[in-house]
Each structure stands twice: as structure tokens, then as C-alpha cells.
Chains A and B, each alone.
Chain A
Amino acid sequence: MVGKIIHEHDVLVVGGGLAGLRAAVEAHDNGADAAVVSKVYPLRSHSVAAQGGINAALGNNPGSKDDSWEKHAFDTVKGSAYLADQDAVEALCREAPASVIELEHWGTVFSRDNEGKLAQRPFGGAGVPRTCYAADRTGHNLLNTLFEQASSRGIKFYNEHFVTSLVVNNNKCAGCITIDIQTGELHGFSSKSLILATGGYGRIYERSTNSLINTADGHALAYRCGAALKDMEFVQFHPTTLYGSNILITEGARGEGAHLINSEGERFMFKYAPEAKELAPRDIVARSIMEEIEKGLGYEGEYVYLDLRPLGAEKIKEHLPGIRQIARDFANLDPVEELIPVQPGQHYSMGGINVNIDGETNIEGLLAAGECACVSVHGANRLGGNSLLETLVFGKKAGKRAGSNDRESVRLSNVKNVLDREQERLETIFSGKGENTAALMKEMKKTVYGKFGIFRNEEKMHEGLNNLYRLQKRYSGAGLNHRGKKYNQALLKFLELGYMLEIAEAVAVSALERKESRGSHYRADFPNRDDDSYLKHTIFIKDHKNRPSITFSPVRSGLFPVKERDY
């Protein structure tokens, strides 16, 4: 078997962000031989860009003295437009304080209050100040801590390995195949458990806050081998992304007291959410901004202003230094004195690979955690500060389950067979006729943003789906001219585009199927929430003939009765 490299581990984690590293650490601490495969160096993962914070009912803030996991759970369920599974939300909120404290004990430099305890700030959709933070670099600080912890345990990292396929036989996962980006060689990985922690599918959209590497890899890999995708139509648009580059401007800014201003100088959120104003949940604030812009009350028909000046210079420097730096570096302005131009942009994927509370999918030995998974704790709209929390709580659970998996070692011959098949597939790609991948990618992003954005309707979405089918067809006949081995980024982009076109279809078909408005999914042709027909999860899965199909699964409630959402 010249040139074929096979690695064996008990637990293989794909993705080196927060969920992946937390899972790897937990699997290791449960006695398993855990390894991490990542297409970048782990510190470059998108988790590093998370700004505002992480929720836990610690009750440290004078305004949250009698906070409890139940209150956190209620805010989360209400924020989700009642689509979240309440047993999963219970786990998330009950385990939040211990999860945050654990990272503090491991060295995360959280911001403090005057007593030296973890400071907590108000966030959208939360009844009380519950969001812990490390200035506005919370993801950066958590990721460094977890990377340090994982490294010190001697966990093996395969950096710059790009996964091309999972190895699944008879609904059992036996490992995966990667391209070593540095050398171009294919590697086979055999594992008893494989955990996908590959982040969201944000980059199928134009105007996204996501890192450029968030290309739906895990979703497509899982879907291709029979895993179910859940609630893919629910895509979060963050209200405040920097006009031009769509770099995130944290909700923490509004949490600290920043205002949203339209072209008439009006603080317009009073009209849309009289109580919560700027701190209504993201779906509501994002729609409100778009309505203002569409009414002609934006600037240049594109953006509104975020005014940080009410905070004063000191608070900005202390609590939002990263935002000040972003405004200076990417908009050439100082928010201590000037207004920041902002517009809504794609931010988070609520939908994902369908998993149970322990991270297990419908395929034996295949698990998922973090943004690429859908437990579901975010339902139709995620609250700020809950995604970092999800990575820690459910990364740990998936790692624990995988680490205690005593499945018999899988047959290496399966991995070798798929390795051969992948080798042939790459040869086919290299022999196809060259197609401009960058142009195809651009067209896909434009289609998804234009037809499956904040305001949706049947006609637009049909047009969008048909366009996606056309793009898929062009893609399936396309190939690559560049055959270089080392750092062949043309090849990686080509494969990423394949993942994204497949997952864009999942978003499109799921969105068409849901004929109501709920959370982030707003349909002008069905503007109301319809609990009688649609209080259920959308499942996108291949049928027995290998064709995409939609089914539904019930929402698990129990803690809180379903009600209207008002803010």
C-alpha cells in the first residue's frame, strides 16, 4: 500500500474550534486516545472571532441576584420562538455555571466586577444581565485556553488536513479520509467514534460575519452518508455588522448601552420593541433595521448607525476595545467620537446535523457538536451568548459519550476502500474541464442571500432553488486545471463549493417547506407563526433512493407553555 497512510484513534474530532477541542479534552480525560483533524491551525478556527460573551446564571450582577437556570431556560425557549427542545435547553442552562467556571479555572481571562467576580452584562432577549465576557474577545480567550489545555494533554493534532469523505458502511461510521494540505497526499483515519465540530454554513451567504472557512463541510459530509439535517431554514442575521466588510459588531455594544439611529436621527427601536428596544432578540432587531432601510430611512439605502457615544470613552476602552480597533482598522473611524455604519448580515446557523443530547446522530459512531450540530437549543432564533455556551456543554457531552464508546475496532479494509475511491474521485476532478470556481461561488452566495435572506416568499425562493439546481449542474460537470500537490487551494475551494451547493439546497428546500414565520424564518406570504401546523422540526435527509427528502419531528416541550413573543 505505497503512499497510503492510515492513522488509528479511539476518537477522532473533526474541527479545532471550541466544541471540537472541548470534546477532545473530555474524550481524553475519559481514557480515550483522542485526536483532532482541522483544515486550519486550531487557533485560526472561527470560534476565535466570538466577541460578546457566554451566558450562565451566576447571579453576580446586582441586577441578576436571583437569576436561575430556569430563568435562563425560559429566555432561551422564548427567544427560540418555542422551537427549541426544552430538555436540551434545560441541560444547557443547568450546566452553564459549571462550564464557565471550569474554563475560568483553566485560565480564561474573564472580565471582573468590583468584587473580583466574573462580570456579567445585559444581552438581547435576556431578562437580566447574564452574559460573562472577556472584554469583547471572549471567543479568543476561551479558544486559547482550550487549545492550551488540549496541547498540554498531548492530544494529537493533524493540522491543515481537509476531510473529503467519511467512511460509513451499513450506517456505521469507521473514520474519514483527508487531504494533507501541505503535501497533497490522502490519509485514511480509522476511529471508533468520529465527532464533527466543523462550525456553521454561513459562507453560503453573501454578507456574512463568518470566517471564510465556514463552508458547511461537516453538514455535507454527514448528509452525504445518510445523516439527518434539522431546521436548516433557520439562519440568524446579526443586526449589527460593519457596512462594507460585514465584520461583527458585538451585541455587547448595545448591551452596554449603544443606540441604533436611522437617517432622521431617530432611535427607531422604540417603535418595534417598546420594552426591550435595542436589546430585543436578534431576529426582531435585524428585521427592524431592514424595515427602516426599505422605508428609505437608512443611509445610502444600505445601513443605519450604531451610536456608542452614550457609553462614554472610558467604558468603550474598557469593555469594547476590540470594537474600537475594528472600527479604526476597517472603517477608519473612532467610535468614541463617531457613529458606526451597520447593516444586518448572516451570522449563525441554527440548523445543523440532527443529534441527541449526547451528540449522537442517526449513524452509529458518528457524533456532532457545536454550531454544525442541531440539538436543538436555539430553535428558530439563538440568543446572544448561548453559542459559546453550547460549544462547551455539548462538546463535553459528545466527548464523554465518544470517549466511553467501547465499540469494537472497525475494519481497516473499509477505510482503505474509501481511500481508493477518493483517489479516483480526485483524478476525475483533475480530468474535468476547468470551470471558474470563484464565479460559481459568487453566484451561489448572491442567490442564497437574495432569495433566502431576512424577508422570504414562495416566488423568490422557488427562483432561488432553481438557480441552485442550475449551479449544481454546472458544478457536477466542472473540473480543475491546477494539479499541484502542495497547498492546492484551488482544489480545496472546489471541494468546499461542492459542500456549500449541497447545503444551500438543504436550506432552500427546508425554507420552502415551512409555510409560516417563526424566529429568523420570516415569510412575507405567511407572516404569522402557525403553531398548529409548524411547531415541529424540519428534517432534511436522503430517502432510500438516495434523493433529498423532507420529514418532520416533534418539538420536545415540557417546561414552559407555548406563548406569543412580545418584547
Chain B
Amino acid sequence: MIIRISRGAGDKYDEYNVKVSQEMTVLDILFHIQGNIDETLAFRYSCRGAVCGSCAILINGMPLLACKTPVSRIDELNNVYEVFLPKEGKVPEDGMLLEPIPKLPVLKDLVVDWEPFFEHFRKLELELKEYSNPPEKEYLLGKDQVRELEKYSNCISCALCWSACPMVGDVEGYPGPAALAKLYRFYLDPREPGNVGRLYFANRDFGWWACDFYTNCRKVCPKGVPPNIAIGKAQNQLKNEEDKK
């Protein structure tokens, strides 16, 4: 199979002829190329089990984790990910096209600079702010409360949603789906004092209100996190708060 891989600026691509099997993942293919054909190729990896969030790339234009995408599934994914398919002719015939995720600066080959993505984690102060006198033991939380928090705390910060969101890059300063989903998670957390204030951390045209609900974030999330739902609920909650005034 011909594997066409982006090699950075200037629309440069290299092609590698690799014998692939249906069970191989795209990450396996990348290791094969790096170990046996071209040691200059660069891509990120760590857990190879879809939990660390390192290997987000575009596979035939679709934002996916390389480690959990076997060759055998690519055709069926074409249907699910229709909106992301690139211009005709870019994917080699009976081959595969691998590119870095968009909307982040490319550092080399498939490696992007994550700083613009993580920067919003710091700006939105995405950490639990403690009560000054916490209980001696654990806070008591209901199973339903935990279920709601888990929906968003399952995020692995892979930046696939960032790369698939039409608003990222279009709206200056937009924190992106992952950061907003995390922000909503802290708003929901009863262990934080005055957490309603959390909603106001992103009560701006370029915050919650920038979302146009394309729901690409939900579609591409490898962990089933729904940032679109968090954003919708936050908007409704803010409207209610305004009505109260």
C-alpha cells in the first residue's frame, strides 16, 4: 500500500510503499516506516492504547488516533467522517494519506505544537479551587453527580476536537471544545466553592457564545466526550442567570 505522509511546510509529501495487513494500526505502519524505511520521520506516541492522547493525526483527512485505527476500519470510517474528507486526488489510489491535525503549528512531519491548545487550560484556570476548610474525609457525591462529571473528565486532551472545530482559528481567542468541556466540568463540581462563577470565565462572544453547534467535537472524540452538550447547557444556564437579575 502507498502511504503518503506530510513532511511539513510547503505541501511536501513523501510516499512509502509498505506491505500492510488489515489488523495493523496506523501507528504500527508509522513505526514500520520509521524503523525500516525512513528514520527521519517524526510522529508522537506513548501508550498505544488510546488513553494518552499523543497520536492524533489526520488519516485520509479524518481526525483520528493512529493507535486505535486499524487498516480494516478505514473504509467504514469514511462514511462516518464524510465532512472531513479531503479534496479528491490527495489520497493515493488504494493508499493512505497521513497529515498532522490542522489548526496548530506544525513542528515536524506529523508533530504539532500543542501550546495554543493547552494555553486555554491555564487561562481558564482548569483546576479545582479548594474550600479553605475541607471535610476530614471525602466529599459525599451522588452516583448521578459522578456520572455527569465523568462525561467530561474522560477527556484525554488529544486535541482532535480542536482540530475539527470550525470556530477554532475562525474566532480569535476561542478556547475550543476541550477546554470549555473541562470548564463546564468544574462548574458542575460541588466540591468547588462558588462554582456558578465558573460560567462567567467564558461568558464572552469568543467564549461559550462562539459555538455554532456543528458538533464536530462530539463526532471526533475518541472517548465519547460531548463538549457541545456542555456548551449548550452553559449557555442556557447563563440565560437563566440573566433572567434572575
* CB <8 Å contact, B140 and A105: no
B94-110 residues with Cβ-Cβ distance < 8 A to A are 107-109
Central interface residue in A40, A137, A329, A438, by most chain B CB within 10 Å:
A329
Contact yes or no, A40 B48, CB < 8 A: no
Task: Given the known inter-chain contacts A111-B146, A141-B153, A486-B108, please indicate yes or no for A151 contacting B46, CB distance below 8 A.
Answer: no
Q: Are A213 and B36 in touch, CB under 8 angstroms?
A: no
18 contacts between A and B (CB under 8 A): A45-B52, A58-B137, A105-B139, A107-B128, A107-B189, A109-B149, A116-B141, A117-B138, A144-B153, A151-B122, A212-B47, A245-B49, A247-B48, A329-B50, A329-B68, A438-B35, A439-B35, A486-B42
What residues on B are CB-neighbors of A489 within 8 Å?
Answer: 34, 39, 41-42
Partner of B138, one of A46, A101, A329: A101
A106 within 8 A of partner (CB): yes
- Asked if A469 is at the interface (CB within 8 A of a chain B CB), the reply is no
Residues of chain B in range 108-137 having any CB-CB distance to chain A below 8 Å: 108-109, 111, 114, 118, 121-122, 125-128, 130, 134, 137
Given contacts A140-B154, A329-B50, 17 further A-B contacts (CB under 8 A): A43-B157, A49-B51, A101-B137, A106-B130, A109-B149, A109-B153, A110-B138, A116-B141, A141-B153, A151-B122, A211-B48, A247-B48, A322-B51, A325-B50, A325-B223, A326-B50, A438-B35
Assess A137 versus B48: contact at CB under 8 Å? Given A106-B128, A118-B138: no
Contact B107 A481 (CB under 8 A): no
**CB neighbours of A148 from chain B (8 A):** 126-128
| Residue of B46, B128, B143 with highest tally of chain A CB at under 10 A | B46
The proximity string for A residues 466-496 relative to B, scoring 1 for CB distances below 8 Å and 0 otherwise, is 0000000000000001101011111000000
CB–CB B46/A40 < 8 A: yes
Q: Is A44 an interface residue (CB 8 A)?
A: yes
The answer to whether A107 touches B191, judged by C-beta atoms less than 8 angstroms apart, is yes
A387 CA / B141 CA spacing, docked (Å): 26
Task: Report whether A247 and B49 are in contact in the complex, using a CB–CB cutoff of 8 Å.
Answer: yes
Whether B126 and A212, one on each chain, are in contact in the complex, defined by CB atoms closer than 8 angstroms, is no
Enumerate B50-80 residues with CB–CB distance to A below 8 Å. Answer: 50-54, 68
A107 contact set on B, CB distance < 8 A: 127-128, 186, 189, 191-192
Which A residues contact B (CB, under 8 angstroms)?
A: 40-41, 43-46, 48-49, 58, 101, 104-107, 109-112, 114-118, 134-135, 137, 140-141, 144-145, 148-149, 151-152, 182, 211-213, 244-245, 247-248, 322, 325-326, 329-330, 436-439, 481-482, 484, 486-490
Known: A104-B138, A141-B153, A211-B48. A487 touches B42 (CB 8 A): yes
**Cβ-closest chain B residue relative to A97:** B137
* A48-B128 in contact (CB<8A): no
Using known A-B contacts A487-B108, A487-B109, A490-B39, determine if residue A49 contacts B49 with beta carbons closer than 8 Å: yes
Check B46 against A46 for contact (C-beta < 8 Å).
yes
Evaluate contact between A40 and B54: CB separation under 8 angstroms. Answer: yes
In the complex, the 5 A-B pairs of residues with the closest C-beta atoms, listed nearest first: A438-B35, A107-B128, A116-B140, A148-B127, A487-B42
Q: Does chain A have a CB within 8 A of B15? A: no
Q: How far is the CA of A401 from the CA of B196 in the complex (A)?
A: 39
A141 to B155 CA separation, bound complex (whole angstroms): 10
* Most B Cβ at <10 Å: residue of A106, A114, A116: A116
B170 CB contacts on chain A under 8 angstroms? none
CA A481 to CA B139, docked complex, whole Å: 57
B150 at the interface (CB under 8 A from A): yes
Given contacts A109-B149, A489-B42, contact A182 B107 (CB under 8 A): yes
What separation, in Å, do the CA atoms of A134 and B138 have in the docked complex? 14
- Hey, which chain A residues are within 8 Å of B240, CB to CB? none
Query: A112 to chain B: which residues have CB within 8 Å?
Result: 140-143, 146
* A144–chain B nearest beta-carbon distance, Å: 7
Pairwise interchain contact A245-B48, C-beta atoms closer than 8 A = yes
| B156: interface (CB < 8 Å) | yes
| B51 in complex: contacting residue of A48, A106, A135, CB < 8 Å | A48
Closest chain A residue to B131, Cβ basis: A105
In angstroms, Cα B130 to Cα A144, docked, is 16
Q: Which residues of A contact B236 (CB under 8 A)?
A: none
A213 to B68, CA, bound (A): 18
A117 to B45, CA, bound (A): 37
Say yes or no: A151 contacts B149, CB within 8 Å.
no
How many Å lie between the Cα of A350 and that of B223 in the bound state?
31
Nearest-CB residue, chain B, relative to A148: B127
Assess whether B139 is in contact with A104, with CB atoms less than 8 Å apart.
Answer: yes
**A105 near B156 (CB under 8 angstroms)?**
no
Contact present for A46 and B47 (CB under 8 Å): yes
Residues of B within 8 A of A110 (CB): 138, 146
Residues of B within 8 A of A (CB): 23, 34-36, 39-42, 44-54, 68, 107-109, 111, 114, 118, 121-122, 125-128, 130, 134, 137-143, 146, 149-150, 153-154, 156-157, 186, 189, 191-192, 223
Asked if B191 contacts A105 (CB within 8 A), the reply is: yes
Q: Is the CB of A211 within 8 A of B107?
A: no
A179 to B70 CA separation, bound complex (whole angstroms) = 33
B191 to A326, Cβ gap below 8 A?
Answer: no
Given A101-B137, A109-B153, A135-B150: A48 and B47 interface contact (C-beta under 8 Å) = yes
CB nearest neighbor in A for B23: A244
Question: Which residue of A has the minimal Cβ distance to B35?
Answer: A438
Q: Are B153 and A115 in contact (CB under 8 A)?
A: no
B146 touches A109 (CB 8 A): yes
Instruction: Please measure, in the bound complex, the distance between the C-alpha atom of A117 and the C-alpha atom of B146, giving whole angstroms.
Output: 11
Query: Which chain A residues lie closer than 8 Å to B186 at the CB level?
Result: 107
Interchain CB contact (< 8 A) of A212 among B48, B107, B121: B48
User: B46 touches which one: A109, A117, A212, A329 (CB < 8 A)?
Assistant: A212
Most A-side CB within 10 Å, residue of B36, B39, B107: B39
Please, how many angstroms separate the alpha-carbon atoms of A439 and B191 in the complex?
Answer: 52
In the complex, which residues of chain B have a beta carbon less than 8 angstroms from the beta carbon of A326?
49-50
User: Which A-chain residue is minimally distant from B134 (CB atoms)?
Assistant: A105
List residues of chain B with CB within 8 A of the CB of A115: 140
Tell me the complex Cα distance, A326–B50, Å: 8
Shortest A274–chain B CB gap in Å is: 34
Contact yes or no, A211 B47, CB < 8 A:
yes
CA distance A116 to B157 in the complex (A): 28
Contact partners of A486 in chain B: CB under 8 A: 42, 107-108
* In the bound complex, CA of A487 to CA of B52 (Å): 19
Task: Report how far A437 CA is from B34 CA in the complex, Å.
Answer: 11
Measured between beta carbons, the chain B residues less than 8 angstroms from A488 are: 42
Residues of A within 8 A of B142 (CB): 112, 116
Q: Are B47 and A44 in contact (CB under 8 A)?
A: yes
Which residues of the partner chain A approach B121 to less than 8 Å between Cβ atoms?
A: 151
Contact A482 B40, beta carbon cutoff 8 Å: yes
Chain A residues in 8 Å Cβ range of B53: 43-44
Task: Closest A residue to B130 by CB, please name it.
Answer: A105
Report B159 CB to chain A, min CB distance, Å: 11
Q: Assuming A106-B128, A487-B109, is B49 touching A44 (CB within 8 A)?
A: no
A139: nearest chain-B partner, CB-CB? B51
By beta carbon, the residue of chain B nearest A145 is B128
Contact B68 A151 (CB under 8 A): no
Q: Which A residues are CB-close (under 8 A) to B128?
A: 106-107, 145, 148
Looking at the complex, which one of A49, A105, A134, A248 makes contact with B52 (CB distance below 8 Å)? A49
The CA of A41 and the CA of B153, in the complex, are separated in Å by 18
